[in-house]
Amino acid sequence: MSLLTRPAFAASALPQLVDALVEQGWFIGEGFLDAELCHDLHRELMEMAEREALAVAGIGRGDEHQLRRDIRGDAIRWLDRESLAQRRYLEAMGELQRELNQALYLGLFEYEAHFAHYPPGAFYKKHLDSFRGRANRVVSTVGYLNPDWPADGGGEMAIFAADDPEREVARVRPEAGNFACFLSENVPHEVLPTRLPRASIAGWFRRNASLGGLVDPAR
Ligand code: OGA
Ligand code: MN
């Protein structure tokens, strides 16, 4: 199969993903993403890191945005469809969006995603991706890009129980091909300190949060 037509993930994995989201609020797929796509995205991110094209990530939106190295230490760049690899990834997430809307009536209307580069020592403390009440991020996704991640590389994402944020229920290694997906409002998660440079793409399916004629604020 040619590079252009090879799917970014196996459609046969989708029913399992949907069931896991319904039953436990999160899904982890090992080897879920196409290896060659991960390779291309990884190279693109590493090149951005080298030419300092990444921005230090902050927390909070709009006026509340602030840099907090004690909370998160990654540097990011939003996907902008510039490369074929980015377009393939976003295309695949569009397919996932259609599937989630069909199976779960989630009304997802938009997807945003950024590359994230965690230098050695960086982490992201336990958090939720969306706050109840101001909810517009509905489903979070994370795709991992690091080839041959060693057992002692650190940088795992730990997932905690929605009804007990102290109880860890799963851990995903940032190995290329691994993919995680969870309910943004309910599932606490954290990136453990990484020992090696760590590459991922974090993304969010959103619902339109306009209220009383106010448009959704810029990110
Ligand atoms: C995030 C996040 C997890 C990861 O960016 O909100 O939780 O494993 N990322 O990169
Ligand atoms: Mn998060």
What are the residues facing 164 on neighbouring strands?
A: 161
d(CA 74, CA 55): 9
Q: Ligand 1: does its nearest atom lie under 6 Å from the Cβ of 142?
A: yes
Tell me: the pLDDT tens digits for 140-192? 999 999 999 999 999 999 999 999 999 999 999 999 999 999 999 999 999 99
Q: How far apart are CA 139 and CA 127, in angstroms?
A: 14
Residues of the chain with pLDDT under 70: 1-5, 132-135, 209-219
Superfamily of domain 13-61+69-207: q2cbj1_9rhob like domain (2.60.120.620)
Closest protein CA for atom 6 of ligand 1: 129
Give the pTM. 0.91
Nearest CA to ligand 1 atom 5: 202
Residue from 191, 204, 219 whose mutation best tests the ligand 1 pocket (most atoms within 8 A of CB): 191
In this structure, how many other beta carbons lie within 10 angstroms of the beta carbon of residue 138? 21
- pLDDT score of 40: 98
Q: Are 158 and 125 in contact (CB under 8 A)?
A: no
